[in-house]
Amino acid sequence: MKAVVLHGIEDLRVEPREERPLGPGEVRVRVESGGICGSDLHYFHDHRIGDFPVRELFVLGHEGAGTVAEVGPGVTLVAVGDRVAINPSHPCGQCAYCRSDREQLCADMLFLGSSRRFPHAQGLFAETFATHERQCVKVPAGTPSRVAALAEPLSVVLHALSHAGPLLGRRVLVTGAGPIGAIVLAAARLAGATVEITDVTPEPLRVAEALGADRVHDVAATPGSVADPAFPRGRFDAAFECSGHPAALATCLDQLAPGGTLVQVGTYADPKVSLPMDRLMAKEITLKSSFRFARDFPVAVDLLASGRIDLGPVLSHEFAAADAMEAFRTASDRRRSMKVHLRF
């Protein structure tokens, strides 16, 4: 089978790799669609993510869906021909975090397409991928793979929203209208919130409008548009910071009403970010962070497959796997793209 393999900085090659034999409880999925995530772009441009460099030939990708092509001994949850979304999160199931339903904090997590471990956890940008049957969540036959592959980023969003409590009737601010910010917008509106969203470029804000944003703010063109003089201490009940930019963090803290909740979702290029602690204290703001997801994946699959959440506007491009270099360059240009998928 062929896979998209990272050899170095901006050096992706489509090349053959051997399929490994299936063990007990494992299945082989014929991957049909895979989404390019921000972490994939970090690996592509920097050959590392944070403190974790790439140290071997590396198959990227952790957002994917396809069809079960082969099953190993003892498989009972899925069968050949089943359409599935692949959960990339493999918690150990034994540590204190796993036992307390906080699997995203697992002390021995294996997450697909990640260089945090060595040997690396190879990703699923390949024609086929072998994994345990428990990582496969069945989707109805009529669900397009490009839709099912959105289950992973939607799971990230559902986990983030859970930190803010019930959103029905609440006023929500989202900073950063990239794919995750856009999905936060869609999911928060589904939960009954009024949602406004910011960005520094107009193109992603047009996608946000298509997703039903109550108001969009191009903060590069109109820096003060989020503020309302009628609410000098802020007017939002919850804020989701999805951009990973200090200026956006400051906007969230300024515009949250007293007693509001800030959920940090975006990753910062420079982790040394200063916080105005007096402002947090005086407004009694609750600050939470959100990392990956725990048991949200089946819920995300159901929301997508049932059509209860429509993320169609987020899907901007689809490329054949053979054109992976063009796909990654397109995904790197926020003025041209939103969510870019590879087709296998």
Domain of 269, CATH number, reads 3.40.50.720
- Examine the domain organization and report whether 213 and 130 are in the same domain: no
Question: What is the domain-level CATH number for residue 119?
Answer: 3.90.180.10
Does the pLDDT at position 144 exceed 90? yes
Return d(Cα 183, Cα 38) in angstroms, integer.
Answer: 14
3-state secondary structure of 265: coil
Quick check: 106 and 98 in contact, CB under 8 A?
A: yes
- Examine the domain organization and report whether 94 and 168 are in the same domain: no
* pLDDT tens profile 250-291: 999 999 999 999 999 998 877 788 889 998 999 999 999 999
Q: Is 298 among the domain residues? A: no
> Measured in Å, how far apart are the chain's first and last C-alpha atoms?
11
Counting Cβ atoms within 10 Å, is residue 214 exposed (0-12), middle (13-18) or buried (19+)? middle
Quick check: 173 and 240 in contact, CB under 8 A?
A: yes
Q: Rounding to the nearest 10 degrees, give the CA dihedral for residues 247, 252, 255, 260.
A: -160
- Examine the domain organization and report whether 318 and 209 are in the same domain: no
Residue 343, φ and ψ in degrees, nearest 5: -110, 130
Dump the DSSP string for 66-135: EEEEEE-TT--S--TT-EEEEP-EE--S-SHHHHTT-GGG-TT-EETTBSSSSS-B--S-BSEEEEEGGG
Contacts of 37 (CB under 8 A, 6+ apart): 62, 63, 152, 153, 179
- Examine the domain organization and report whether 17 and 132 are in the same domain: yes
Number of domains into which the chain is organized: 2
- Examine the domain organization and report whether 82 and 43 are in the same domain: yes
* pLDDT tens profile 229-238: 999 999 999 9
- Examine the domain organization and report whether 52 and 129 are in the same domain: yes
Token couple for 132: 């345990």
Mean pLDDT of 55-80: 98
Question: What type of residue is 5?
Answer: V
Chain-centre distance for alpha carbon 229: 35
Does the pLDDT at position 211 exceed 80? yes
Confidence of residue 173 (pLDDT cuts 50, 70, 90): very high
Q: Is 18 among the domain residues? A: yes
- Examine the domain organization and report whether 113 and 51 are in the same domain: yes
* pLDDT tens profile 100-134: 999 999 989 999 999 999 999 999 999 999 999 99
Mean pLDDT of 134-158: 97
**218 lies in which domain range?**
156-289
- Residue found by looking up tokens 């919130």 in the block: 193
Return d(Cα 86, Cα 149) in angstroms, integer.
Answer: 8
Give pTM, 2 decimals: 0.95
Token couple for 41: 């772009």
* CB burial string 236-267: b at 16+ within 10 A, e below: bbbbbbbbbbbebbbbbbbbbbeebbbbbbbb
- Residue found by looking up tokens 């992706």 in the block: 12
Return d(Cα 2, Cα 335) in angstroms, integer.
Answer: 31
Token couple for 179: 């794919």
Quick check: 290 and 271 in contact, CB under 8 A?
A: no
